[in-house]
Chains A and B, each alone.
Chain A
Amino acid sequence: MRHKSILATSAIVVGIVAFTACSKLLPSMIDPSEGLCGPVSMSSAQTILFSAGNNEFFRVRSSSSGLGPYFVASGCGNCHSSDNRGHPFTILTRFGQSDTTGNKFLAEGAPQLGTFCLPGYTPEAVPPGATSTQFIAPITAGVGFLEAVPDSEILNMAAANLNNPDGVRGHPNYDTIPSWATPLNGAIPRGDGKYIHRFGRKADVYNLLEQTVNAYSRDMGITSTYLPNNPSNYLDPTPSVTPSVPEVDNTTLNSTVFYVTCLQTPVQRNPNDPTVLAGNQVFVQIGCETCHKQTLTTGYSPIAALANQTFNPFTDLLVHDMGPGLDDHYTEGTAQTSEWRTTPLWGLGLAPNVQGGNTYLLHDGRAHSIEQAIELHGGEAAVSEGRFEKLSTTDRNALLTFLKSL
């Protein structure tokens, strides 16, 4: 009897000791190169605001806190897990605009489909005759830096492509800003009063305030003072009720905007590894960098840590014709249906962490590997893609190692 008790005791003790020995007792901070959670350096007051925004970003809404009646997901963080690329299970559908003359299906709830609805409502459907596409969430880390890039720099990048021998062109997506948005610092409007837009897959969102207001309204069915009406569904005879008080108040909304604005840029891993460096050279040589611009500089920003910073997003914020393969016959603003904003490549290597160990790239996640994403490049990127096809195995592997280090 006695020996059995000793046996059991020692099993527990061994268990505890082995366990203690093989893991640190308290977990350490997330290394910025492993995940994308941290803010840029900021004052205490800013930290408090950032933290409030962080809570709101990862807050989950229910019908009693304003969700729906039509929605795609119930919180920002459900689509932008770890502030990186999204998982296809929160994919959203846009429909109704097939050329630059605007969306013809606004009465049917365009541009965005409320994929899901609260119990008791009728789900939305893409109306007959409307073209549509699908978007998975892009990376949100570092968007504050993108917002602080002055229009002049975007225009310079577009101008530099004028006689590009590879056939790369690219232009900003000009559109009318919402009445409640104020022009960004150094904004350069076009003669017709339209401004350069830069966020979203089609670069048809002006700034992070508009992006956040739209996300609340279209992705979650949360009303704000800017967009006070819940969308209605043309298929549902019951009109959706517009709440008398906005479901997100301005203070909360501003903290969410502040949160995304101040997210740190993704940190490259092993930047000085020889293969990574070699891959970076290949990236430039075969013309990827013509669109995926490695280095941009911010202008003025009221947030000191964002002002006059050089950073590495790998985008030019322009829209490019990517050929018929990526033409979903849907568009926004003054972009053509085959035109897409150059996707920032930062955070690429960390994306599998939030995509269940798999890879889902391009606007709708159709590419299941980095190679496949490149192979689907056509149009203005066809020449560059052709060079990628002809790379030696060494160069190809170096390029992929480089991309995964981002």
Chain B
Amino acid sequence: MMIRTLIAVVAAVLFGCLSAQAQIDSSLLKTPEKKDTIPHSLNMDAIYNRPFLQLGKTPVSIGGYMESNWQYVKTSGITVGNQFQFRRFSLFVASTITKHIKFLSEIEYENDPTGDPGDAGGGSFEVEYAALDIEFHPLINLRGGMIVNPIGAFNQNHDGPKWEFTDRPIAMTQMLPDTWSNTGFGLYGKEYKNHWMFGYEFYLTGGFNDSIIDNTQGKTFLPAAKSSVNRFTESASGEPLYTGKLSVRHDKIGELGLSYMGGVYNTWQIEGAQVDYKRRLSVYDVDFNTTLPTHTNIITEWAWIFVHLPPNYTQEYSSRQFGGFIDVVQPVYRGRILDWNNASINLAVRGEYVDWNVGTFSSTGTRMYNDLWSIMPAISFRPTPQTVLRFNYRHERARDITGDFIGATIGTTAGFSLGLSTYF
């Protein structure tokens, strides 16, 4: 309770500093120094807005990032000891095929034990993104291939080196799926005027399946759909998943994103015969980021999930979920450190909350819990904006559905991590 109040107070103090004075480089912490030439950028640009190396005179550029860390965590007094984790290695290849036609792909090796347990365990190489963009007009671009659904901001803008924390936000990995990409196509566009910038995205893709309400987590769990091997070629429901996002950015105020993702998720017909009711899922997401005149960077995102369950389904699986995070990052020093001219030291804190079972028990009318909150202070050193060395402390409290705090996997988790992440 106390800690939650603290998150709120810290956030309020920092918001209080907001004023409409000169804007400093908002992209310092979220976008690397070397980037393509887009002067104003939204979260939707993150996928292209990365450091790339041009390969000689070819139209091909490549880039990538890696993440690795040490961790020592205890849950209810029990620890698995010192853990050394190589979490991600990602390679992007982009090419400008002709004017107004671009192709980008990203291949990622991922093995994140703290990430979403729907991922195949033991580490795997996967194509995370591979799409062609055709620009007809800045407001009308066609994108097709394997694309990242623009639900929220984190899903699009998740590269390790951009963050001061070794762990990804829990709500964005274990409630919403992270790096949630699907086969599909759609339109996007951008427009800017004076200090304002507006962007939209709308895609039709493949999507979820019954595993979101029948999985080894024993709770409604959207990331479970990621483990389906044939989801890139076959949609379980035979219906598109709609994802849409509107973003507005004002140079001095910040960026606000509103997004929606929804569709039928279950296999309701087999060989033309209806075998089940159509069940839908809807996700609403709000994201916001800004940089205050104090250079304080604030990033926050909250999502609401609604899932139609079969009639009289076990309440272990919930029809509603809610969660999100707020990051506050304060550069405390910027300038020359040792031999680096553009180095910085930052203090940061992340507050998070996730509730996997929103609602009440039908048997007792009392509240279902199955929730978690966490606070994570951090200190980071960036010898250059593209490389980060970060030290985090996490304090987390989790309850099971009955509200029980005492158990082997629930209760208090706390620990330290020291991580390294860089673009290359």
- A105, CB-defined interface residue at 8 Å: no
The smallest C-beta distance from A367 to any residue of chain B, in angstroms, reads 13
What is the size category of the interface that chain A forms with chain B? 35 or more
Is the pair B402, A81 in contact by a Cβ cutoff of 8 Å? yes
Q: How far is the CA of A353 from the CA of B368 in the complex (A)?
A: 13
Please name the residue on chain A nearest to B213 by beta carbon. A119
The smallest C-beta distance from A267 to any residue of chain B, in angstroms, reads 13
Q: Report B2-24 CB contacts with A as 1/0, cut-off 8 Å.
A: 11001001100110010001000
Is the pair A27, B404 in contact by a Cβ cutoff of 8 Å? no
- B82, CB-defined interface residue at 8 Å: no
- B44, CB-defined interface residue at 8 Å: no
Q: Report A1-38 CB contacts with B as 1/0, cut-off 8 Å.
A: 10011011101110110110011111111100011010
A22 contacts across to B, CB distance below 8 A: 2
| Candidate in A61, A74, A89 with the most chain B CB atoms within 10 angstroms | A89
Please name the residue on chain B nearest to A7 by beta carbon. B17
The smallest C-beta distance from A86 to any residue of chain B, in angstroms, reads 8
Of A52-60, A298-306, A310-318, the stretch lying at the interface with chain B is A52-60
B310 contacts across to A, CB distance below 8 A: 119
In chain B between 302 and 358, which residues have their CB closer than 8 angstroms to a CB of chain A? 310, 312-316, 328, 330, 332, 347-349
B348 contacts across to A, CB distance below 8 A: 12
Is the pair A30, B406 in contact by a Cβ cutoff of 8 Å? yes
Given the known A-B contacts A19-B6, A30-B411, A356-B366, are A63 and B214 also in contact in the complex, defined by CB atoms under 8 Å?
yes
| Candidate in B14, B314, B393 with the most chain A CB atoms within 10 angstroms | B314
Please name the residue on chain A nearest to B224 by beta carbon. A62
Size of B's binding interface in residues, CB under 8 A: 69
The smallest C-beta distance from A240 to any residue of chain B, in angstroms, reads 16
| Candidate in A18, A30, A88 with the most chain B CB atoms within 10 angstroms | A30
- B217, CB-defined interface residue at 8 Å: yes
With beta carbons under 8 angstroms apart, the residue of B217, B218, B411 that contacts A27 is: B411
- A129, CB-defined interface residue at 8 Å: no
Q: Is the interface of A mostly helix, strand, loop or mixed?
A: loop
Given the known A-B contacts A7-B13, A82-B404, are A59 and B216 also in contact in the complex, defined by CB atoms under 8 Å?
yes
A356 contacts across to B, CB distance below 8 A: 361, 364, 366-367, 369, 402-403
The smallest C-beta distance from A24 to any residue of chain B, in angstroms, reads 8
B414 contacts across to A, CB distance below 8 A: 24-27
Q: How far is the CA of A85 from the CA of B366 in the complex (A)?
A: 17
Q: How far is the CA of A354 from the CA of B395 in the complex (A)?
A: 22
Is the pair A62, B214 in contact by a Cβ cutoff of 8 Å? yes
Q: How far is the CA of A16 from the CA of B377 in the complex (A)?
A: 6
Q: How far is the CA of A137 from the CA of B34 in the complex (A)?
A: 60
- B284, CB-defined interface residue at 8 Å: no
Please name the residue on chain B nearest to A63 by beta carbon. B214
Q: Report A383-400 CB contacts with B as 1/0, cut-off 8 Å.
A: 000000000000000000
Q: How far is the CA of A355 from the CA of B78 in the complex (A)?
A: 24
- B292, CB-defined interface residue at 8 Å: yes
- B250, CB-defined interface residue at 8 Å: no
The smallest C-beta distance from A209 to any residue of chain B, in angstroms, reads 23
Q: Report B378-396 CB contacts with A as 1/0, cut-off 8 Å.
A: 0000000000000001010
Given the known A-B contacts A15-B10, A358-B364, are A27 and B211 also in contact in the complex, defined by CB atoms under 8 Å?
no
B295 contacts across to A, CB distance below 8 A: 5
A355 contacts across to B, CB distance below 8 A: 402
With beta carbons under 8 angstroms apart, the residue of A9, A15, A75 that contacts B377 is: A15
The smallest C-beta distance from A80 to any residue of chain B, in angstroms, reads 11
Is the pair B215, A62 in contact by a Cβ cutoff of 8 Å? yes
With beta carbons under 8 angstroms apart, the residue of A9, A23, A65 that contacts B216 is: A65
A123 contacts across to B, CB distance below 8 A: 312
- B33, CB-defined interface residue at 8 Å: no
Is the pair A73, B13 in contact by a Cβ cutoff of 8 Å? no
Please name the residue on chain B nearest to A91 by beta carbon. B363
- B272, CB-defined interface residue at 8 Å: no
Please name the residue on chain A nearest to B277 by beta carbon. A119
The smallest C-beta distance from A83 to any residue of chain B, in angstroms, reads 9
B330 contacts across to A, CB distance below 8 A: 5, 8-9, 12
Q: How far is the CA of A150 from the CA of B239 in the complex (A)?
A: 62
Given the known A-B contacts A23-B395, A26-B415, A58-B408, are A89 and B401 also in contact in the complex, defined by CB atoms under 8 Å?
yes
Please name the residue on chain B nearest to A24 by beta carbon. B414
Q: How far is the CA of A91 from the CA of B213 in the complex (A)?
A: 20
Of B46-54, B69-77, B188-196, B198-206, the stretch lying at the interface with chain A is B69-77
Please name the residue on chain B nearest to A350 by beta carbon. B406
A63 contacts across to B, CB distance below 8 A: 214
Q: Report B399-424 CB contacts with A as 1/0, cut-off 8 Å.
A: 01111111111011111000000000
- A120, CB-defined interface residue at 8 Å: yes
Q: How far is the CA of A64 from the CA of B118 in the complex (A)?
A: 14
The smallest C-beta distance from A256 to any residue of chain B, in angstroms, reads 15
Is the pair A8, B294 in contact by a Cβ cutoff of 8 Å? yes
| Candidate in B78, B368, B400, B413 with the most chain A CB atoms within 10 angstroms | B400
- B375, CB-defined interface residue at 8 Å: yes
With beta carbons under 8 angstroms apart, the residue of A34, A62, A77 that contacts B211 is: A62
Is the pair A119, B214 in contact by a Cβ cutoff of 8 Å? yes
Q: How far is the CA of A34 from the CA of B77 in the complex (A)?
A: 13
B218 contacts across to A, CB distance below 8 A: 60, 62, 74-75, 78
Is the pair A19, B402 in contact by a Cβ cutoff of 8 Å? no
- A159, CB-defined interface residue at 8 Å: no
B173 contacts across to A, CB distance below 8 A: none
The smallest C-beta distance from B312 to any residue of chain A, in angstroms, reads 6
A64 contacts across to B, CB distance below 8 A: 211, 214
The smallest C-beta distance from A28 to any residue of chain B, in angstroms, reads 5
Is the pair A12, B349 in contact by a Cβ cutoff of 8 Å? yes
Is the pair A82, B313 in contact by a Cβ cutoff of 8 Å? no
B3 contacts across to A, CB distance below 8 A: 19, 23
Q: How far is the CA of A75 from the CA of B408 in the complex (A)?
A: 15
- B275, CB-defined interface residue at 8 Å: yes
With beta carbons under 8 angstroms apart, the residue of B17, B313, B361, B395 that contacts A88 is: B361
Please name the residue on chain B nearest to A121 by beta carbon. B310
A360 contacts across to B, CB distance below 8 A: 364
Q: Report B59-82 CB contacts with A as 1/0, cut-off 8 Å.
A: 000000000000000111110000
- B181, CB-defined interface residue at 8 Å: no
A135 contacts across to B, CB distance below 8 A: none
- A325, CB-defined interface residue at 8 Å: no
B6 contacts across to A, CB distance below 8 A: 15, 18-19
Is the pair B316, A28 in contact by a Cβ cutoff of 8 Å? no
Instruction: Sample 19 A-B pairs with CB under 8 A, ordered by A number.
Output: A8-B292, A11-B10, A12-B347, A19-B377, A19-B395, A26-B74, A27-B74, A27-B414, A29-B77, A62-B216, A72-B314, A73-B314, A87-B361, A87-B401, A87-B402, A88-B361, A119-B310, A354-B402, A357-B403
Instruction: Kindly list 13 other residue pairs between chains A and B, CB separation below 8 angstroms, not including A7-B17, A11-B14, A77-B407.
Output: A7-B13, A9-B332, A9-B347, A26-B74, A27-B74, A27-B414, A59-B216, A60-B218, A62-B215, A74-B218, A89-B362, A353-B405, A356-B369
Residues of chain A at the chain B interface (Cβ within 8 Å):
1, 4-5, 7-9, 11-13, 15-16, 18-19, 22-30, 34-35, 37, 54, 58-65, 67, 71-75, 77-78, 81-82, 87-89, 91, 115-116, 118-120, 123, 353-358, 360
Going nearest first, the 4 A-B pairs with the smallest beta carbon separation are: A29-B77, A60-B218, A35-B406, A27-B412
